[in-house]
Amino acid sequence: MSWQDHKAFYSLPTDDVSATLETDSHAGLSSTEATHRLRVAGPNTLQVRKRRSALLRFLDQFNNPLIYVLLVSGTITILLPGHKVDAAVIFAVVILNAIIGFIQEARAEAAIEALSKLVKIRSTVVRDGQSRVVEAAELVPGDLVVLQSGDRVPADLRIIRRRELQIDESMLTGESFPVSKETAALPEDTVLADRKNMAFSGTLVTFGQGTGVVTATGNATELGNISSLIESAPSLTTPLLRQIGRFSVWLSWVIVGFAIIIFAISLLRDQSFVNTFLATVAFAVAAIPEGLPAALTIILAIGVTRMAKRHAVIRKLPAVETLGSTTVICTDKTGTLTKNEMTVTTVYAGDRQFSVTGTGYRPEGAVLLDNENIALEENSALRSCLHAGVLCNDSRLFERDGRWTVEGDPTEGALLTVAAKAGVDPGALRDAAAGLDVIPFESERQYMATLHRLPDGRHMVFMKGAVEKVLALCGKALRADGETAGIECNSLQQIADDLAARGLRVLAFAMREVPREQETLHPNDLDRDMIFVGYQAMIDPPRPEAVSAVTATQGAGIVVKMITGDHALTARSIAEQCGISTRGTPALSGAELAAIPQEELSDIIAKTNVFARVAPEQKLRIVEALQARREVVAMTGDGVNDAPALKQANIGIAMGLTGTEVARDAADMVLTDDNFATIEAAVDEGRGVYENLRKFILWTLPTNAGEGLLILVAIALGIAIPVLPVQILWINMATAVFIGMSLAFEIKEEGLMQRPARLPSEPVLTPDLVLRIAYVSVLMVIGAYILFQYELQQGLPIEEARTVVANVVVLVETAFLFNCRSLTRFVGQVGFFSNPWTIGGALTMIGLQLFFVYHPIMNRLFQTRPVDAFTWLEVALVALAVFVVVEIDKWIRRRIQSH
């Protein structure tokens, strides 16, 4: 078998690994062979996908059926004599929309580049029997790599030698604790998180030393596999954008169809080609909501600003709307629901069980007995247990930039924190109890022991380790009063089992005085009677605010599922504490998930809320299965292992403080405070943004429908069109910007988070709202034509009559704006002045319309004429009538619903 063929190196003994990879387990590869393999296997880097140029991304802004219609209309209009201004305005609107879309578009995905940065490191390799430092990119399968504490693993390695080697794999597997590495072969069906004889590219060595043989480089590594999953995951559009896309295509065909009919009818009536085409362009321009793309972008951008104030940074603009329609949140455990900071929650000492408050490494909290503070002087066993946790410890706890951090093993950091909560100063204790010797932790021994000289001159051994190993070395137990008694191993084992059943990691502690002349420590010295002093049980606990946030999210009709690479027992415990699952509900493991037939997968995933020991590709599979059930899925996470699922999800949510760069770049939204509770706030804001988008769409469509009807009626009756294309463009763009945009600042209505999650198939506009658009359009057309014909009958020029029609459309839209501030309630109920932007926008629009009507430049550009005050009164009465009819309609519907 060639060195390029085998994959499951974790299932081979170390000698077979070396033989298969054709390398020497001590001398490594020869330089010549390494050079040859580098040519064959390629550099140890990740392939980077070529990104679209800025020009292509700008041109993509024109890829919309409605834009095509406008471009064709503008192109032909510019060829018509005397209509250069009309064409220029059409093109200006199209270009403005493209510029806004280009500026606001989320930057191109950089997840692959971020992954590449993780492997741009140097590493120690043995070649030709000599150690040398090389760029990680030069590593090849078969290379012998030496790992030290603090090293970033440069490639996938099969461990062949190790000394107390521990590696933090949380970014890849979600495992809370550093993994102690072994060398023995494992079964071939061992899942990724349990492959303890492997070191994976990109993970971090936290303790010890080791030597491994490179088994995979570049895209062939587990990190590379994630890179491929990220690249293959499609970029999904949002429910609203899909509906807008379908509406655009439908409207384009409608416009083209009616335009052909209008053109044909006009030609049959022997009208001039110029007038015929002008009428056709007028209809096209009238029916297209030119301001909609820009308005949607700006409303979403305002939502981005609001969310940023609530610690949610939106990287991709449409994600704002998606939040409002999310039906399932798939959350990672480590670092998302929890802080990824180990915390001692229970201490057992002197026959008593103490609870510990506070979470994370910040030394704030207390050790309580029956909910009351306890003084260490009152319990000698508790004091000794905490002292053992500090002294039998190689780590350091410190504060940096307001954040408490552990240097070393997270488990040892938790032991330092709980001691500080009880009033012990770890630094002072270590200074007072000088360390003399240490027996480091080894996986075979499963304990660590240290020898210290206490301030009173006594020499004391302290031990911590696995429950079974420590109990086996103890002959006595320390009581609360400081006396010793016979040890009840079965009883103590049951206490430890009960703690472990709650998802806690339990460490046992013991001590023993030795002669003062003894200054060295050997394992044989511990084969005598140690004195059991207690247990410390820890977990990476849920954030208190995450528990309430999960409850609130579920109250909003959103299903919360936990997907983690951690152990099932730990996952289930955290899920129960957060309210994601009920007590006793089993977690589905990655191995069980892999065995489920494809046809049953969707139903099982829908019924399961906790997934444990899950591989990255399985996270992706879960998200895809939920999406196949037409769920809108939000995926949260912080590790590299989360990135493919983050990109596949309808909205990916990454952690900003503890999240990896890969996860942040694959996500649509980044939480700057790493707080699951922020998701609840973001969903609330997202629902508010969606409601404001609906209000804007409801507000803008009657303008287009009404303008289109004005043209169609004129064609049908064979009369002059009552409004010109250039005037329509003025109305559409000016009203959208100056009054429509004010709806983006509308305050959220009460009860948004008590409503059920919106179904992806649910239309933006309900039948009731469609009916409202229809009758507002008809009322607008009736009022406009009555005044248009009246002006002409008074002998006024057609330019003045058209100006009146333009005023009718603008004032009806201004009045209807206040109707749209609530879809169901009277504007007075939401507070007439609660959104000052609507007042300011309406006054600004009226001012601009006066400029449009009376200024000579505008008269020349838009072919308008001044009108008298009585005409304004007539126009205002039409607008008021529309406002009153809409409010009566809302009142009737409220009465019907209440009964």
The residue ranges of DSSP E strands in 263-327, in sequence order, are 312-314
Q: By the 8 A CB rule, do 639 and 660 touch?
A: yes
CA distance readout (Å), 280 to 265, 461, 785: 11, 95, 19
d(CA 777, CA 771): 10
> Does 110 have pLDDT greater than 70?
no
User: What pLDDT is attached to residue 119?
Assistant: 38
pTM for this model (two decimals): 0.66
What's the CA angle centered on 755, arms 813 and 689, to 5 degrees? 40
User: What pLDDT is attached to residue 746?
Assistant: 87
DSSP 810-851: HHHHHHHHHHTTSSSS-HHHH-TTS-HHHHHHHHHHHHHHHH
**616, amino acid identity:** P
**What's the whole-number mean pLDDT along residues 181-196?**
89
Encoded tokens for 864: 């308008």
Biggest distance spanned by C-alpha atoms of the chain: 121
Q: By the 8 A CB rule, do 180 and 411 touch?
A: no
User: What pLDDT is attached to residue 285?
Assistant: 67
Mean pLDDT computed over every residue of the chain: 84
User: What pLDDT is attached to residue 118?
Assistant: 41
Percent of the chain with pLDDT strictly greater than 70: 87
d(CA 242, CA 158): 47
Residue 7: count of CB within 10 angstroms of its CB:
10
H helices then E strands: how many in the chain? 32, 28
What's the CA angle centered on 756, arms 754 and 760, to 5 degrees? 145
User: What pLDDT is attached to residue 232?
Assistant: 61
Cα 47 to chain centroid, rounded: 25
> Does 78 have pLDDT greater than 80?
no
**What's the whole-number mean pLDDT along residues 750-756?**
76
d(CA 289, CA 736): 9
Q: By the 8 A CB rule, do 33 and 14 touch?
A: no
The enclosing H or E element of 123 equals strand 122-127
Convert the pLDDT of each residue in 523-555 to its tens digit. 888 877 899 999 999 998 888 888 888 988 898
Convert the pLDDT of each residue in 137-164 to its tens digit. 899 999 999 998 778 899 999 999 998 8
> Does 660 have pLDDT greater than 80?
no
Which of left, alpha, beta for 674 (phi over 0: left; psi -120 to 50: alpha)? Answer: left
Identify the sign of the CA torsion 491, 493, 497, 500.
positive
| Tokens 């080697």 -> residue | 165
Encoded tokens for 496: 């430890």
Q: How confident is the model at residue 717 (pLDDT cuts 50, 70, 90)?
A: confident
User: Dihedral angle at the C-alpha atoms of 697, 699, 705, 706, nearest 10 degrees?
Assistant: -170
DSSP 664-699: HHH-SEEETT--HHHHHHHHHHHHHHHHHHHHHHHH
CA distance readout (Å), 859 to 93, 219, 725, 873: 20, 66, 15, 21
Q: How confident is the model at residue 361 (pLDDT cuts 50, 70, 90)?
A: very high
Q: How confident is the model at residue 113 (pLDDT cuts 50, 70, 90)?
A: very low
d(CA 558, CA 245): 26
389 or 110: which carries more pLDDT confidence?
389
User: What pLDDT is attached to residue 230?
Assistant: 66
User: Dihedral angle at the C-alpha atoms of 731, 734, 737, 739, nearest 10 degrees?
Assistant: -70
**What's the whole-number mean pLDDT along residues 481-486?**
92
Encoded tokens for 261: 């009919």
Cα 849 to chain centroid, rounded: 44
User: What pLDDT is attached to residue 256?
Assistant: 77
Convert the pLDDT of each residue in 507-524 to its tens digit. 999 999 999 999 999 888
| Tokens 């009736």 -> residue | 782
End-to-end, the C-alpha distance of the chain in Å comes to: 79
User: What pLDDT is attached to residue 369?
Assistant: 93
Beginning with the edge strand found earlier in the chain, give each strand of the sheet holding 559-563 in spatial order: 312-314, 669-671, 651-655, 633-637, 328-331, 559-563, 610-612, 588-589
In angstroms and rounded to an integer, the radius of gyration of the C-alpha atoms of the chain is 35
224 or 798: which carries more pLDDT confidence?
798
Q: 664-682 burial by CB neighbour count: b if 16+ within 10 A, else e? A: bbbbbbbbeebbbbbbbbb
User: What pLDDT is attached to residue 265?
Assistant: 75
**What's the whole-number mean pLDDT along residues 826-847?**
88
Return the DSSP state at 650: S
User: What pLDDT is attached to residue 514?
Assistant: 92
d(CA 400, CA 573): 31
**What's the whole-number mean pLDDT along residues 706-714?**
85
Q: How confident is the model at residue 430 (pLDDT cuts 50, 70, 90)?
A: very high
User: What pLDDT is attached to residue 690?
Assistant: 84
User: What pLDDT is attached to residue 493?
Assistant: 94
**Helix segments in 319-409, DSSP class H:** 319-325, 380-391
Cα 740 to chain centroid, rounded: 30
> Does 114 have pLDDT greater than 50?
no
d(CA 132, CA 750): 66
Helix (H, G, I), strand (E, B) or coil at 11: helix
User: How many residues are given for the chain?
Assistant: 899
Convert the pLDDT of each residue in 613-624 to its tens digit. 887 778 888 999
**14, amino acid identity:** T
Q: By the 8 A CB rule, do 642 and 617 touch?
A: no
- Of 689, 658, 651, whose CA–CA distance to 310 is shortest? 689
Reply yes or no on whether 638 is catalytic. no
User: What pLDDT is attached to residue 294?
Assistant: 64
d(CA 603, CA 622): 11
Percent of the chain with pLDDT strictly greater than 90: 40
Cα 166 to chain centroid, rounded: 30
**What's the whole-number mean pLDDT along residues 605-614?**
91
Q: By the 8 A CB rule, do 374 and 382 touch?
A: yes
Q: By the 8 A CB rule, do 129 and 188 touch?
A: no
Return the DSSP state at 451: E
**426, amino acid identity:** P
Catalytic residue among 156, 194, 332, 665: 332
d(CA 48, CA 112): 6
- β-bridge partners, 405: 398
Convert the pLDDT of each residue in 234-247 to its tens digit. 555 566 667 776 77
CA distance readout (Å), 883 to 31, 309, 731, 818, 880: 84, 35, 19, 8, 5
Return the DSSP state at 744: G
> Does 69 have pLDDT greater than 70?
no
* Residue 287 half-sphere exposure toward CB, CA atoms < 13 A: 28
d(CA 679, CA 578): 15
DSSP 463-512: EEE-HHHHHHTEEEEE-TTS-EEE--HHHHHHHHHHHHHTT-EEEEEEEE
**What's the whole-number mean pLDDT along residues 27-31?**
93
Residue 404: count of CB within 10 angstroms of its CB:
17
What's the CA angle centered on 763, arms 759 and 767, to 5 degrees? 125
